[in-house]
């Protein structure tokens, strides 16, 4: 049985009711306080999950506040199961047991993972639990569609180095590529590539990243190359080139949310229609992800090694010569822990967010489950599949949403969808401006988290 979003809303409110005040914010000029030392990807301070993936040592109380990050591992993610996915509120840093951590509502369909965005939500984001320090990553993707709907496949480091693929749902024949160094906004870094119908057709998108260059490939063909030698910043005396260990992140997010800045809405193709045919037919917008393959950079000496257990920074400048490939542990004992005290125990329970403490431990959400959705076959008819509870947080989902069979509805009429020939295997599925250069989804999901505080 699939859990409706009404119980989910209740669960979120129950899990986060202890968080009575907004988490402190953090920036390069305003570091986190000692009692909430970790600056999360969304520029908020806390402990626990704030100190894991996305924790920025430059903005944290001290450089050792963040938990060391698991080193790169060669791996092929089949994306046909959610068994090794955990919601951010259930993950304490053990990458040997968890491949993906995230927020939102990922589902299974036809041997693939769907990232969904129900009405009035902020979508879904997943990130790998291990980090790439150079290497190759390739993902098989069918994007979302519709005005204001954005699909993203990126590499993103804790100090906000970034390499992107992004698709806006009104242009299914273009994919935007981009890169950033430590979140420094430079829209001149963008380059567009042509692709054939990104919604109805799977394509392979690849990032080849070395200490000397980035290459973006579509279906095995190089579409763009950026060399490090072209990024010298004479004023800062540094290479403005992504160079630090990064997680693979995939997401669907509402660039056209009406509360976003006009420039973001215009870039995303206009405001989102929460009463669109996509919503009526399926209950949400969605992007489809097939196999994702990570190959680590092969080298005997830094930068780019993965000989130890974890990466950490030994200097606040956070460039590749300050990354240490180490044997420091990566696992917290509880959500009260930090990089400075990883064994701090929760007197109530370990392995999930504390119900007894008012400290901010989970960025953007509360305690939720994850699991599988019933499958459907290619022609839109309901099919067999193992079901389980599946829900997410980090989205302000409409509490009127409910699950009926394999279609999720939110006060809308719903149909099976799909044509008689099953030409679109997406059919029949069950139902912000950049902050320091990070994908705008981070901004939106951070704001969404505040709605539950």
End-to-end alpha carbon distance in the chain: 29
Per the listing, tokens 């320090």 go with 133
In a 13 Å sphere around the CA of 144, the CA atoms on its Cβ side amount to 38
Which residues are known catalytic residues?
162, 166
Q: Measured at the alpha carbon of residue 292, what is the angle toward residues 91 and 335, in degrees to the nearest 5?
A: 10
For residues 157 and 54, the answer to whether their CB atoms sit within 8 Å is: no
Residues 284, 117: Cα–Cα separation, whole Å: 5
For residues 144 and 287, the answer to whether their CB atoms sit within 8 Å is: yes
Q: Hey, how many other C-beta atoms are within 10 angstroms of the C-beta on 358?
A: 11
Helix (H) or strand (E) holding 277: helix 277-282
Residues 390, 43: Cα–Cα separation, whole Å: 28
**Two structure tokens written together for 257:** 């949310």
The values of phi and psi at residue 442, to 5°, are -60, -40
Residue 96 class from Cβ within 10 Å (0-12 exposed, 13-18 middle, 19+ buried)? exposed
In a 13 Å sphere around the CA of 368, the CA atoms on its Cβ side amount to 34
**Two structure tokens written together for 217:** 């490939």
328-351 residues labelled b (16+ CB within 10 A) or e (exposed): bebbbbbbbbbbbebeeebeeeee
Bond from prior residue into 33 cis (ω within 30 degrees of 0): no
Beta strands per DSSP E along 170-298? 174-180, 191-194, 203-209, 213-218, 221-227, 232-233, 238-239, 246-254, 285-296
Of residues 288, 282, 283, 265, the one with CA closest to residue 170: 265
Beta bridge partners of 75: 294
Residues 149, 157: Cα–Cα separation, whole Å: 24
């Amino acid at each position: 049985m699939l859990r409706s979003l009404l119980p989910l809303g209740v669960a979120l409110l129950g899990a986060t009711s202890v968080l009575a005040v907004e988490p402190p914010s953090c920036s390069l000029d305003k570091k986190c306080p000692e009692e909430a030392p970790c600056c999360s990807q969304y520029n908020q301070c806390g402990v626990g999950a704030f100190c894991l993936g996305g924790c920025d040592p430059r903005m944290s109380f001290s450089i050792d506040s963040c938990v060391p990050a698991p080193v790169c591992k060669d791996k092929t993610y089949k994306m046909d199961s959610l068994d090794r996915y955990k919601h951010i509120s259930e993950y304490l840093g053990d990458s040997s047991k968890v491949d993906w951590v995230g927020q939102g509502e990922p589902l299974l369909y036809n041997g693939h993972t769907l990232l969904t965005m129900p009405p009035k939500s902020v979508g879904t984001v997943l990130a790998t639990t291990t980090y790439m320090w150079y290497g190759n990553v390739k993902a098989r993707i069918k994007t979302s569609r519709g005005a204001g709907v954005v699909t993203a496949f990126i590499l993103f480091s804790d100090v906000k180095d970034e390499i992107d693929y992004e698709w806006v749902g009104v242009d299914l024949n273009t994919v935007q590529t981009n890169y950033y160094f430590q979140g420094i906004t430079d829209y001149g870094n963008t380059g567009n590539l042509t692709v054939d119908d990104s919604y109805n057709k799977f394509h392979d998108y690849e990032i080849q990243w070395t200490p000397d260059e980035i290459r973006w490939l579509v279906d095995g063909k190089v579409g763009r190359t950026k060399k490090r030698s072209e990024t010298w910043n004479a004023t800062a005396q540094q290479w403005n080139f992504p160079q630090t260990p990064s997680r693979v992140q995939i997401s669907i997010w509402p660039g056209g949310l009406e509360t976003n800045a006009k420039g973001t809405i215009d870039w995303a193709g206009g405001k989102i229609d929460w009463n669109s045919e996509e919503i009526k037919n399926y209950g949400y917008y969605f992007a489809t992800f097939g196999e994702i393959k990570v190959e680590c950079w092969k080298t005997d000496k830094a930068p780019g090694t993965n000989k130890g257990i974890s990466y950490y920074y030994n200097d606040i400048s956070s460039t590749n010569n300050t990354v240490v490939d180490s044997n420091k542990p990566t696992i917290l004992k509880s959500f009260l822990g930090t990089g400075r005290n990883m064994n701090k125990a929760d007197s109530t329970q370990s392995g999930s967010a504390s119900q007894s403490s008012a400290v901010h431990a989970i960025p953007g959400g509360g305690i939720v489950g994850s699991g599988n959705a019933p499958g459907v076959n290619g022609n839109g008819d309901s099919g067999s599949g193992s079901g389980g509870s599946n829900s997410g947080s980090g989205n302000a989902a409409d509490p009127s949403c409910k699950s009926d069979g394999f279609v999720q509805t939110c006060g809308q009429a719903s149909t099976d969808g799909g044509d008689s020939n099953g030409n679109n295997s997406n059919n029949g599925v069950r139902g912000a401006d950049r902050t320091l250069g990070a994908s705008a989804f981070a901004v939106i999901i951070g704001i969404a988290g505040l709605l539950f505080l």
